[in-house]
């Protein structure tokens, strides 16, 4: 019983990280309509830049904020440089460009930081004990941070002017422009938000996996894709639901079916979803 | 002398990538399918060929090469080569029959995911592949008995040239054939092609499976050229290097596919000389993965640049001009 609960807690933490990253990816998909293969590298970049900020003496939470802002700006710049000029060229050009960008970013990180795994300076945290049950603090913390951030995104989308403009642009860009929305600015804001969320996702991923590697974002990307497609691509709320299923699926699969396969369970889930219900569980706009 | 050896190795590798690009030419160049998991067919072909041709475990030859693997069938290499094509084709048939109907984006993600599943299986099923340790002593045809170690790279290059020439000729025929034309019709406008009675899912599935056969054969060529096989050779970047080769050479043109592979390899393997660039030396001493990473950065930038500034490639696809009647209608 206790073992199952432990598995569930780790599954929920993994699910929370996937969920957060999937929300970020959905935001950018919602307004640009292409699957960004370089999104995973923004997670990696976020984690490593946070580590740099820590090395300058900032506390981890403050360093994370710095990492998020820097990666947010980087995300906007990358979109300006690489994606905006070819937005009209169709999805193939965008897809292949995003793959190229992924290799550039990933290996830029490897060139700057080397490929040896490193880790965040997390203080030693004693787990909580609830009778028989031992509850480790890091996964609970990760779940809490992810939930609060997603609540923030929800409030932003539902109740702010910018959020409404983002939803309008996602639903129908031409109509949004005709109604006087400056879609270019909405696009830039969405890229910033999406990249900043990725950076936070990267830090949380580094905390749950205990180590940072230049390849971490790239290997995590497919898991995020699985969640996004399962939930209905372009819909952040669907992404949250999909991520929960994928996260629990990975941890339960590892615990009860085959320990060596890890992420492969997510890929299998992804393939099944694509075959059975390619449109995902929820509708594709927010 | 060292330079000739380097060039021979480079050309062999480039031609093997050319075969991979021919496979992708069938799937993407002709049929327009976004296969982001090409490396899976390559890997399965390579392992099939290696395991079938390795001497059986426990045999004298096994002891002679100090083998530590568990499966080996001792078949002749040409037979293993054909079986590799079959294995690649069967895997493509399996993947294609479930996902060929998916639309572009989804097909890309699905094939990418399936390639990762294949890699995961090859990594974890150590009884089959020895996992991260890999297998040494994969037989090299004609080596030892007929040709010595010094001349062998030239012999293998000649062998590769023959195979590539044959496959290129077949691809050119196929591209111009009614089958090739039907595939291009599906690529340009699937609805219109179906309206004209072309069974598009069946056509796409056949193109996908054929591409898998070709990639499987490339895997066989590759593993016997090296004599070593391990899963670490089959990472996703191979898929995208093949994409780059095809886009660089000109999609839709089989000659372009092979040419693109040769040009790409000349560029990326040329970056090996970065190791000896003096001002990079302090950086490489601090971080041993500096130069290999720089090479991937260059590949990434090349991919972006080709798509953006050179979308038609070196040898663009030649399409037949529309019939004369159409033009007369325009000018009237």
DSSP assignment of A198-227 equals HHHHHHHHHHHHS-B-TTHHHHHHHHHHHH
A273 at B interface, C-beta within 8 A: no
| Residue B317 or A75, more confident | A75
Q: Do A111 and B105 touch (CB under 8 A)?
A: no
pLDDT band at A286 (very low <50, low <70, confident <90, very high): low
| Position B332 pLDDT exceeds 50 | no
Write down the pLDDT at residue B89.
Answer: 96
A106 at B interface, C-beta within 8 A: yes
- State the nearest Cα–Cα gap between A176 and chain B, in angstroms: 25
For the segment B284-323, what is each residue's pLDDT rounded down to a tens digit?
777 777 888 888 898 899 999 999 998 888 888 877 766 6
The percent of residues in chain A predicted with pLDDT above 90, rounded, is 42
Among residues B301, B254, B268, which one has the least CA distance to residue B24?
B254
Write down the pLDDT at residue A280.
Answer: 64
pLDDT band at B69 (very low <50, low <70, confident <90, very high): confident
All residues of chain A having their beta carbon less than 8 Å from the beta carbon of residue B302 are 100
Shortest CB distance from B116 goes to which of A103, A104, A222? A222
Write down the pLDDT at residue B224.
Answer: 93
ipTM of the complex: 0.86
All residues of chain A having their beta carbon less than 8 Å from the beta carbon of residue B237 are 103
Q: Do B116 and A275 touch (CB under 8 A)?
A: no
Among chain B, residues having any CB pair with chain A shorter than 8 Å are: 34, 98-99, 102-106, 108-110, 112-114, 116-117, 120-121, 124, 237, 240, 243, 247, 287-290, 293-294, 296-297, 299-304, 307-308, 311
Q: Which helix (H) or strand (E) holds B229?
A: strand B228-229
The percent of residues in chain B predicted with pLDDT above 70, rounded, is 94
Helices (H) and strands (E) counted in chain B, each on its own, are 15, 2
Q: Per the domain annotation, does B181 fall within a domain?
A: yes
Domain extent listing, chain A: 2-218
Distance CA B156, CA B162 (A): 10
Q: Do B110 and A271 touch (CB under 8 A)?
A: yes
Own/partner pairs for B90-95, CB < 8 Å, 24+ apart?
B90/B212, B91/B40, B91/B41, B91/B44, B91/B118, B91/B212, B91/B216, B92/B41, B92/B208, B92/B209, B92/B210, B92/B211, B92/B212, B92/B213, B92/B215, B93/B205, B93/B208, B93/B209, B93/B212, B95/B37, B95/B40, B95/B208, B95/B212
pTM over 0.95: no
| Position B329 pLDDT exceeds 60 | no
A81 at B interface, C-beta within 8 A: no
Q: Per the domain annotation, does B108 fall within a domain?
A: yes
Average pLDDT over residues B106-131: 87
Shortest CB distance from A278 goes to which of B106, B293, B307? B106
Distance CA A192, CA A153 (A): 13
All residues of chain B having their beta carbon less than 8 Å from the beta carbon of residue A100 are 240, 299-304, 307
CA A6 to chain centre: 24
- Give the residue on A whose Cα is nearest the Cα of B237: A103
Q: Do B296 and A267 touch (CB under 8 A)?
A: no
For the segment B35-44, what is each residue's pLDDT rounded down to a tens digit?
999 999 999 9
Average pLDDT over residues A183-191: 91
Question: For residues A202 and A106, is the Cβ–Cβ distance under 8 A?
Answer: no
| Residue A279 or B196, more confident | B196
Tokens 């990358």 belong to residue: A78
| Residue A260 or B11, more confident | B11
Average pLDDT over residues B225-250: 91
Among residues B68, B89, B55, which one has the least CA distance to residue B219?
B89
| Residue B283 or B200, more confident | B200
- Give the residue on B whose Cα is nearest the Cα of A87: B308
Tell me the average pLDDT of chain B.
87
Write down the pLDDT at residue B331.
Answer: 45
A247-256, B77-86, B114-123: least confident range: A247-256
- Give the residue on B whose Cα is nearest the Cα of A107: B293
Q: Do A101 and B109 touch (CB under 8 A)?
A: no
Q: Per the domain annotation, does B295 fall within a domain?
A: no
For the segment A104-156, what is each residue's pLDDT rounded down to a tens digit?
999 999 988 888 888 887 777 777 877 777 778 888 999 999 999 999 998 99
Residue B146 backbone dihedrals phi, psi, to 5 degrees: -105, -45
Among residues A10, A1, A2, which one has the least CA distance to residue A253?
A10
B113: containing domain: 2-233
As for how many domains chain B has, the answer is 1
- State the nearest Cα–Cα gap between A247 and chain B, in angstroms: 16
Write down the pLDDT at residue A136.
Answer: 82
Distance CA B139, CA B69 (A): 14
Q: Give the three-class secondary structure for B121.
A: helix
Average pLDDT over residues A166-195: 89
Distance CA A262, CA A246 (A): 11
Average pLDDT over residues A270-286: 69
Count of positions (residues) in chain A: 286
Count chain A–chain B contacts defined by CB atoms under 8 A.
120
- State the nearest Cα–Cα gap between A265 and chain B, in angstroms: 9
Mutation for A interface: B102, B293, B311, most A CBs within 10 A = B293
Q: Per the domain annotation, does B169 fall within a domain?
A: yes
Q: What is the DSSP letter of B135?
A: E
């Amino acid at each position: 019983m206790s073992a199952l609960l432990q598995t569930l807690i780790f599954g929920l933490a993994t699910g929370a990280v996937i969920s957060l990253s999937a929300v970020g990816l959905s935001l950018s998909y919602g307004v640009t309509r292409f699957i960004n293969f370089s999104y995973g590298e923004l997670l990696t970049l976020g984690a490593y830049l946070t580590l740099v900020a820590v090395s300058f003496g900032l506390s981890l939470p403050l360093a994370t904020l710095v990492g998020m802002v820097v990666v947010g700006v980087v995300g906007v710049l990358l979109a300006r440089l690489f994606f905006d000029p070819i937005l009209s060229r169709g999805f193939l050009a965008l897809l292949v460009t995003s793959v190229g960008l992924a290799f550039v970013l990933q290996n830029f990180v490897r060139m700057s930081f080397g490929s040896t795994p490193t880790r965040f300076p997390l203080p030693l945290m004693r787990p909580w004990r609830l009778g028989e049950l031992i509850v480790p603090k890091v996964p609970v913390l990760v779940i809490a941070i992810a939930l609060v951030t997603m609540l923030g995104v929800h409030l932003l989308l539902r109740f702010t002017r910018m959020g409404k403009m983002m939803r309008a642009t996602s639903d129908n860009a031409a109509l949004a422009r005709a109604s006087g929305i400056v879609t270019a600015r909405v696009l830039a804001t969405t890229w910033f938000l999406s990249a900043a969320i990725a950076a936070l996702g990267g830090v949380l991923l580094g905390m749950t996996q205990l180590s940072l590697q230049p390849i971490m974002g790239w290997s995590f990307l497919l898991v995020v894709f699985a969640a996004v497609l399962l939930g209905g691509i372009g819909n952040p709320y669907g992404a949250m639901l999909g991520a929960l299923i994928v996260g629990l699926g990975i941890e339960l699969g590892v615990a009860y079916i085959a320990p060596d396969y890890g992420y492969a369970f997510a890929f299998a889930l992804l393939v099944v979803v694509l075959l059975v219900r390619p449109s995902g569980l929820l509708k594709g706009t927010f | 002398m060292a330079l000739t050896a380097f060039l021979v190795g480079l050309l062999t590798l480039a031609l093997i990538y050319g075969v991979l690009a021919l496979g992708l030419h069938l799937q993407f160049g002709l049929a327009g399918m976004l296969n982001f998991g090409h490396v899976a067919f390559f890997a399965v072909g390579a392992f099939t060929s290696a395991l079938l041709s390795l001497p059986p475990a426990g045999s004298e030859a096994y002891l002679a090469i100090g083998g530590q693997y568990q499966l080996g069938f001792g078949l002749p290499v040409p037979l293993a080569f054909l079986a590799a094509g079959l294995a690649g084709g069967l895997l493509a048939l399996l993947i294609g029959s479930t996902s060929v109907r998916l639309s572009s984006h989804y097909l890309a993600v699905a094939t990418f995911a399936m390639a990762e599943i294949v890699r995961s299986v090859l990594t974890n099923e150590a009884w089959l592949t020895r996992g991260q340790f890999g297998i040494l002593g994969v037989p090299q045809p004609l080596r030892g008995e007929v040709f010595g170690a010094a001349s062998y790279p030239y012999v293998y290059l000649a062998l590769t040239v023959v195979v590539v020439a044959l496959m290129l000729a077949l691809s050119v025929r196929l591209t111009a054939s009614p089958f090739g034309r039907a595939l291009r019709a599906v690529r340009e406008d699937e609805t219109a092609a179906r309206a004209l009675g072309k069974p598009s899912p069946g056509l796409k599935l056949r193109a996908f499976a054929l591409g898998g056969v070709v990639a499987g054969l490339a895997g066989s060529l590759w593993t016997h050229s090296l004599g070593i096989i391990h899963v670490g050779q089959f990472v996703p970047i191979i898929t995208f290097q093949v994409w780059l080769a095809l886009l660089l050479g000109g999609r839709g043109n089989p000659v372009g596919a092979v040419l693109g592979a040769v040009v790409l390899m000349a560029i990326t393997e040329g970056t090996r000389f970065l190791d000896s660039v003096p001002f990079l030396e302090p950086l490489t001493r601090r971080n041993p993965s500096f130069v290999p990473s720089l090479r991937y950065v260059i590949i990434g930038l090349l991919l972006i640049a080709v798509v953006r500034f050179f979308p038609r490639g070196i040898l663009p696809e030649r399409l037949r001009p529309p019939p004369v009647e159409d033009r007369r209608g325009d000018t009237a």
